[in-house]
Chains A and B, each alone.
Chain A
Amino acid sequence: MAKQRAFDVTTLPGFTFIAILSFVLLYAPIATLVIYSFNGGNSVNQWGGFSLQWYVVAFNNEAVQDAAARSLIIAVWASVISTVLATMAALGTTRRGKFKGQTVIYIILNQPLMVPEIVTAVALLIFFSSVKVVTGYTGLGYLILAHSAFCIPFAYLPIKARLEGMDTAMETAAADLYATPWQTFRYVTLPLLLPGVIAGAMLAFIISLDNVIITEFVKSAGQDTLPTYMLGQLRRALTPEVNAISTALLALTVLILIVFVFVTKKRE
């Protein structure tokens, strides 16, 4: 029964050690942050007994309420806009023959993944300040536009992957059965693509929700989002309120990720 065993990475020396070390480095800080969000004392690193007081403080803090609402509004708009654009881009790059400049299109679409974020932030700051001078508009639109732009590649990638994995025979069959190109999209492509679209939208939502750098540069006075509010708090006295806000944000993200995994798994 000498069965040839396939290469198994777990048999390499040091595998267990490196794995455990990685997990500790990844999760120990987060665990500490979560634990201290329940601190009864005023310190972010000295335990003063269990309490939910910092959650109450954060929840009743008007600045936090404002920032949270703003974060959600921006994230919802940005994920909707970027997902619609990303779906169109994914269809445009997968549902046609090979074309000239295909690589250039991919690079342009994924630009936000490659250009250093600080560069984009400065560029947007300069660009939008000129626009502000001309239009006089100072609302949330700038943040929504900026977030939509850098969310596109995150929405694009899962949608494109789903489209590439889909059997185009379905669309051929729909056309054969008298469906116009629009009907084919509406009744065949879109329903089959939906898990990819949902996944893309969720990724975009999370990415928008925790963005700091671009938001910090683009926002006008009084347009703090939750992450930029927390950054501002660092300059003052740090209390476990920041831990409580972070933990709430983390919980929301984990919840979205669970739904994400559930949606992608179930359809396959």
Chain B
Amino acid sequence: MHGLNNNIAVDARNIGKIYGTGNEAVIALGDVSISIEKGEFFTLLGPSGCGKTTLLRCIAGFETPTSGSIHLSGTDITYTPPNERPVNTVFQSYALFPHLTVAQNVGFGLKMLGKPAADIAKSVARVLALVKLEDFADRLPAQLSGGQQQRVALARALAPEPEVLLLDEPLSALDLKLRKEMQSELKRLQTETGITFIFVTHDQEEALTMSNRIGVMSQGALLQVGTPHEIYEHPVNRFVADFIGETNFLDGQVDNAQVRIGTGDLLDVPLGDHKGLVTLAIRPEQVSVEPQGTGIAATITETTYMGTDTHYKLSLSDGSLIVARVQSNSAGARSAGDVVGIRIDAAAVQVLKS
């Protein structure tokens, strides 16, 4: 029974959330069960509308699940109002109080908890130092840049030292450079504070670089939970493989211990117990481009020089398309129209049920 494990911060069991009734009913969450460990940086990843934010709002208490239960450190909080949950949220829109200074915003949670003013001041100073905003304590949110507002939102949610910090796509409003900075900043804060982070994003790169574990969601269902490495290397299905990084898909048929693809070529992939029709998920970096006559015959349809890497779009003899990513220096000068051969690192290929 994982419920008895006191290493679990959030334990959501069979969460369903349906909006509306009858014909207008929309299923936001199907039947989601998830256990998030204490001190973990856990990311809920999926396209918009997949239910990840709804799940986060259920944990925060802004939504009540239609079915299922949520436990926080072993206590059932399914119907506990948000103000009684030791959980804080960093909102996508920041939702800073415009009439309060930075210090008052950050101290808000502690003030509501009835902490003495001296303790609040001390906590606020400590947390502002943590996000490097010591000099901005007396400013109003409107006087800060987007990145600074983001840090205030973070400090405000960290100040009451919640058991779990929920982050709802907090970096989506920032420009690329600032986002990269905040990614490592968040990772640092999580390590320093030891607080469990549940981070919601649709950005797979963000998820891969920051998380201890990732839960991939689609259409209200949790498809796969695992470390970034597991999710990237061993996606459970086509959706996960496609969503996490660029992936080629080739249909094939199991032929003895190998897979015969559309061109007639046999690939010695790790089959497991797959039988019949299968789909091979092949990462672009697992495809190498060789001189004509070696491997599988292919024609280059497009080349894209990306600096260190070059991307080739190739067409196989059965018409299927495949993308290869090779190091530029070893690529030679190949161009569209060239007939080449490709080799697929068969051992690294993922076999999925068709």
Contact = CB atoms under 8 A, between A and B. Distances in A.
Partners in one complex: yes
Nearest to B114: A178
Given A172-B62, A176-B82, A191 B112 contact: no
Q: On chain B, which size bracket covers the interface?
A: 20 to 34
Contacts of A177: 83, 88, 108-109, 112, 156-157, 160
B113 A167 contact: no
B83 A175 contact: yes
B97 A188 contact: yes
A175 B95 contact: no
A176 B88 contact: yes
A170 B95 contact: yes
B98 A169 contact: no
Contacts of B61: 175-176
Interface string B10-54: 000000000000000000000000000000000000000000000
Nearest to B111: A187
Given A191-B99, A192-B98, A192-B99, A178 B160 contact: yes
Contact of B108 (A167, A169, A174, A191): A174
A173 B95 contact: yes
B278 interface: no
Nearest to B99: A191
A174 B157 CA distance: 11
Contacts of A183: 112
A175 B82 contact: yes
A32 interface: no
Nearest to B153: A173
B89 A179 contact: no
B217 interface: no
B60 A179 contact: no
A130 interface: no
A192 B141 CA distance: 14
Contact of B83 (A178, A188, A192): A178
Contacts, number: 61
B109 A178 contact: yes
A45 B238 CA distance: 90
Given A191-B99, A192-B99, A176 B93 contact: no
Contacts of B84: 178
B81 interface: yes
A233 interface: no
Interface in A135-178: 167, 169-170, 172-178
Given A169-B91, A174-B108, A179 B83 contact: yes
Contact of A173 (B87, B97, B99, B113): B97
Given A167-B95, A169-B91, A169-B95, A176 B112 contact: no
A176 B97 contact: no
B83 A170 contact: no
Interface string A177-196: 11110011001100110000
B83 A173 contact: no
Interface string B70-105: 000000000001111001110101011111000000
Contacts of A173: 89, 91, 95-97
Contacts of B89: 173, 176
Given A178-B160, A192-B99, A169 B83 contact: no
B162 to A, nearest CB: 9
Contacts of A176: 60-62, 82-83, 87-89, 157
Contacts of A175: 61-62, 81-83
A254 to B, nearest CB: 29
B156 to A, nearest CB: 7
Nearest to A179: B112
Interface in B147-191: 156-157, 160
A145 B261 CA distance: 86
A223 to B, nearest CB: 42
Contacts of B62: 172, 175-176
Interface string A211-226: 0000000000000000
Nearest to A171: B95
Contacts of B83: 175-180, 184
Nearest to A194: B99
Contacts of B88: 176-177
A247 to B, nearest CB: 39
Interface string B223-248: 00000000000000000000000000
Contacts of A180: 83, 112
A188 B95 CA distance: 11
Q: Which 10 A-B pairs have the closest CB atoms?
A: A177-B109, A169-B95, A173-B95, A178-B112, A175-B82, A179-B112, A176-B89, A191-B99, A175-B83, A178-B83
Given A169-B91, A176-B88, 10 more contacts: A172-B82, A173-B95, A175-B81, A176-B61, A176-B62, A176-B89, A177-B109, A177-B156, A177-B157, A178-B84
Interface of A: 167, 169-170, 172-180, 183-184, 187-188, 191-192
30 contacts: A167-B95, A169-B91, A169-B93, A169-B95, A170-B98, A172-B62, A173-B89, A173-B91, A173-B95, A173-B96, A173-B97, A175-B61, A175-B62, A175-B82, A176-B83, A176-B87, A177-B108, A177-B109, A177-B112, A177-B156, A177-B157, A178-B109, A178-B112, A178-B160, A179-B83, A180-B112, A183-B112, A184-B83, A192-B98, A192-B99
